[in-house]
Amino acid sequence: MSQPIENLDEVLKNHKLSKEEYRDILRILDGRHPNIVEIGIFSAMWSEHCSYKSSKKYLNGFPTKAPWVIQGPGENAGVIDIGDGMAAVFKMESHNHPSFIEPFQGAATGVGGILRDIFTMGARPVANLNALRFGRVRGDSDINKYQRHLVRGVVDGIGSYGNCMGVPTIGGEVSFDESYNGNILVNAFSLGLVKSDEIFLGVASGIGNPVMYVGSKTGRDGLGGAVMSSDSFTEESKSLRPTVQVGDPFTEKLLLEACLELFKTDHVVGIQDMGAAGLTSSAFEMAGKTGAGLIMHLDKVPAREEGMMPYDFMLSESQERMLICAKKGSEQAIIDIFEKWELDVAVIGEVTDTQRMELLWHGEQVCDMPIAPVSEEAPILDRPTARPAYLDEVNAKSVDDYAKVDDQEAYEKLLAPLEVVDKAWVYNQYDSMVQTNTTKEPGSLDASCIRIKENGRALAMSSDCNPRYCYIDPKKGAALAVVESGRNVAMSGARPLSITDCLNYGNPENPEVMWQFAQGCEGIKEACLELNTPVVSGNVSLYNETNGVSVYPTPAIAMVGLNDDENKVLPSHFQEEGSQIILLGETKGEFGGSLYIKELFGETSGTLPSFDYSAELRLWELVIEANKKGLLKSAKDVNVGGIAIALSKMAAVSNKGIVAEVAVKESRDIFDESQSRALVEVSKENIEAFGKMAMDLGISVSMIGQVGGDKVKVNNVELPLEEVKDIYFNTFTRTIEQDL
Amino acid sequence: MKVAVLRFPGTNCEFDTQYAFEKLGHTTQLVWHEDEKLPEGIDLVVVPGGFSYGDYLRSGSIARFSSVMKAVQDYAKEGGKVLGICNGFQILTEAGLLPGALKRNNNLHFISKHQNLCVINNDNAFLNKCGKGEVLNIPIAHADGNYYIDDEGFKELEANGQILLRYSDKEGNPVVVNGSVTSIAGVCNEDKNVFGLMPHPERALEAILGSEDGIKMLQGFEA
């Protein structure tokens, strides 16, 4: 065993370990001082990123069960039953810090990481989404220019990785707010398909079974990445660029095909990808879950360069690597498969009965510690919380406190924000059609859909979060993120089943941020219970803070739903001239956290009203059942910018005009953001049958207009269709490419 | 028909291609890049889309050296029919089986979207079920689709009727999509047995995917 550490204080500081944690380490090692390898291991395993030490307390209460849930949180990804022996495996994960430092590689490796989480489970990834939050991109300041650079780099990175992997990126969301000026959010979602009885887990068991390393060689890239992601940003953060991993989608594609080939055999006990904290976390997690011990010879790990030390091997975050626990005697068969795909493969250790992690370097022991206290018993913190001071001020305001604005002027301003307009500049850089399953593409509004070749059904998925709502009311805002993702899924005719989440918050050491986080979890819990859409997987990203400024609370929610018939995926834009547009739900004049106040007055203020889950569920029921009966031509939810903006988007995408008259109390209410509303397109002969269904479910119905003509007119505001289309389709490119 | 579908490290449209031909009632067989022979009794070789060798060095430039491509060269020399789609087109130009080269798109971005194509020549084994001047709606998805050929080569293409498809608007007028010379989207060799195109006909066989126009393209090989 190598020497104890001399300059201990400095080493602990560099590894972000506290004095209390060091006392725990001494206890776990039975009083022995750790060496540098062991310090590195504790540091990585107990980092916020790996241990969830600040968040665990709140995540434990999430609803995670339903008859269709096959695997809830705790594995590489969640799994739900989608009928006929098929299962969907999905998860969302953040890659925020790396993407701010190096947007192309940061975003690319974010996609690579989430894809490995999916195919580690035995599933072939079939659809990707991403949720991106940038700072202010309009303007000439250095911040604006850098943000535009980040948009271009992140999109390029996501495209380059997903495209090369042959996994379609079928949708997502992109929004912008000053709160992300110093800390962008890059959340990547992936979904894979697998037969329900062919799911693989990240476990190591069976004394004497070999532990095998497959994939890329290990280099020094990404060293300490998990620790880096567990800290706030400062001016010095740019010097952290070497901690960003470099992705190689070609190698990952080979790894995907090799793993799927391996999974058809009977050689595997368990498999885990090497993500954050690399070999350390994969080895500890695999053994920790079963109570096994492991012995690993680090000198047998394939290395990219000479001179690497045990510390480097354990903490490198080199991409495209997996750890496999194989059945004894299967070594050669596994070697053959990975060599066929021109990947590195090596037997590096075996399962023991010691419940300890023993690491050797050319025969010399460099680590010997019990596994459970490190992996399963990482510290859980109960950080102080405090209701943020800003809330009183923002909640005290209402839309009436602002000057009156001419409705036409408001309409033209609300149509142009980048979060509203079409994002073809983004999604045209993603191959959305490979695998030939995409039936509702990016740009077609609301949820994205793929058909399932194996069973003739379709999956709908949507990623949503309105950070303005979460800022003015962290609990209801988070709940509404769940609600909106579910509503989008329901609008495609699919039944929402389960969510994955990516909880992006600021610095947990700030009690106000911790309060936001706790409230956000409460909101998700409440919504998932009420809507019966359990959480099956997820990720927490804290320390999204730069120079003391935290991002808006941003719990991104991705909902997955099932449509029983691949041929009945409901579009979200107008299908036919002359058909009737019906508004479902009530318009109550809600402007809390609205686009209206943000765009016209530059503020995020107001309150969110109490929410009626029953009304929401009845709305979903109505659209899903009416679609089954063939009564609907299209359906779209009403969200930011209200009815006027929703109708304008439908008109632009369909290249069809609309004249609508909506009964409202105040004329500005065509921009209000009341929940549980939708616009549906119904042909004349079906109006009666649909009206009756709505009445039976107690949903208010207003016939507001007909599809057709060459203008978009909603009450007292209007623009020629051509002008709406020009704004809708060209604004994004004009803004993002202005520096080129 | 019996269709051989090549598989290189990094190929990612091999299963889509198999699915498409099988949907049209044909049998397919995957052929590994290290194989030195093509299967017996095949009617068509398809070099499918994807990122063979990660597009490293230059799209298609490494795959052309594979064992199976030597077999494809011989097969084509004897008059066998070969279709390259997207990365397959790139590989065929790199292998010298098709004239010209494919450069980075002129906007330097990957471009994925539904695209109208105008049929320029249909007196060949591929597009014989499509009308001359007919407009087809077929997805494109590529970063290196900017077709280049020198003036002399272009004149030969035109004179021999080797230009298969051009990117177009709904009316069939050429449009600039990626910077290709005269908006060329697909060409064939002089003997009209080797075909290459950037768009993906195998993605356009079903109405729920947005287009069925790929059917008559792939069915061309049945005749």
Task: Kindly give, in sequence order, each residue whose CB lies less than 8 Å from that of residue A712, ignoring residues fewer than 6 positions away.
Answer: A647, A648, A651, A657, A658, A718, A719, A720, A721, A724
For A387, the token pair is: 């209701």
Does residue A4 register a pLDDT over 90? no
Query: Per-residue pLDDT tens for A437-484?
Result: 999 999 999 999 999 999 999 999 999 999 999 999 999 999 999 999
pLDDT of residue A220: 85
Residue A733 pLDDT level (bands cut at 50, 70, 90): very high
The nearest alpha carbon in chain A to B141 belongs to A431
Does residue A538 register a pLDDT over 70? yes
Nearest to A404 by CA among A145, A600, A229, A538: A600
pLDDT of residue A49: 86
- Who among A164, A429, A437 is closest to B51 (CB)? A164
**Nearest CA distance, A535 vs chain B (angstrom):** 30
The nearest alpha carbon in chain A to B20 belongs to A436
Chains A, B: CB contacts within 8 A come to: 88
Mean of all residue pLDDT scores within chain B: 97
In angstroms, rounded to a whole number, what is the distance separating the alpha carbons of residues A396 and A615?
Answer: 27
Does residue A228 register a pLDDT over 60? no
What does A570-582 look like in DSSP terms, one character per residue?
Answer: PPSS--STTPEEE
Give φ, ψ of A281 to 5 degrees. -70, -35
Asked whether the beta carbons of B139 and B204 are under 8 A apart, the reply is: yes
Q: How far apart are the first and last CA of chain A?
A: 56
pLDDT of residue A243: 65
Nearest to A425 by CA among A128, A733, A727: A733
In angstroms, rounded to a whole number, what is the distance separating the alpha carbons of residues A502 and A449?
Answer: 21
Strand order in the sheet with A458-464: A438-440, A448-451, A458-464, A554-563, A495-504, A535-541
Query: Per-residue pLDDT tens for A541-589?
Result: 999 999 888 999 999 999 999 999 999 999 999 999 999 999 999 999 9
Does residue A3 register a pLDDT over 80? no
Nearest to A594 by CA among A414, A719, A361, A732: A414
Q: Where are the beta strands (DSSP E) in chain B?
A: 2-7, 27-32, 44-47, 82-85, 101-103, 111-119, 135-142, 146-148, 163-167, 184-188, 194-197
A451-456, long-range: CB < 8 A, 24+ apart: A451/A566, A451/A569, A451/B208, A452/A82, A452/A86, A452/A193, A452/A566, A453/B19, A454/A84, A454/A86, A454/A193, A455/A82, A455/A83, A455/A84, A455/A86, A456/A565, A456/A566
Q: How far is CA B52 from the centre of its chain?
A: 15
pLDDT of residue A277: 86
Catalytic residues of B: 86, 200, 202
| Pairing relationship of beta strands A535-541 and A545-546 according to DSSP bridges | unpaired
Task: Kindly give, in sequence order, each residue whose CB lies less than 8 Å from that of residue B92, ignoring residues fewer than 6 positions away.
Answer: B47, B60, B82, B84, B98, B194, B196
Residue A225 pLDDT level (bands cut at 50, 70, 90): low
Task: Kindly give, in sequence order, each residue whose CB lies less than 8 Å from that of residue B218, ignoring residues fewer than 6 positions away.
Answer: B20, B21, B24, B201, B202, B205
* Helix, strand, or coil (residue A604): coil
| Contact state of B111 with A428 under an 8 Å Cβ cutoff | yes
- Who among A160, A433, A567 is closest to B208 (CB)? A567
For A455, the token pair is: 């069973």
Asked whether the beta carbons of A636 and A581 are under 8 A apart, the reply is: no
| Contact state of A424 with B113 under an 8 Å Cβ cutoff | yes
Percent of chain B topping pLDDT 90: 100
pLDDT of residue A7: 87
In angstroms, rounded to a whole number, what is the distance separating the alpha carbons of residues A146 and A731?
Answer: 19
Query: Per-residue pLDDT tens for A338-378?
Result: 999 999 999 999 999 999 999 999 999 999 999 999 987 78
Q: Which amino acid is at A619?
A: L
Total-model pTM: 0.96
Residue A239 pLDDT level (bands cut at 50, 70, 90): low
Nearest to B206 by CA among A561, A572, A457, A438: A438
**Nearest CA distance, B184 vs chain A (angstrom):** 20
ipTM of the complex: 0.97
Q: How far apart are the first and last CA of chain B?
A: 10
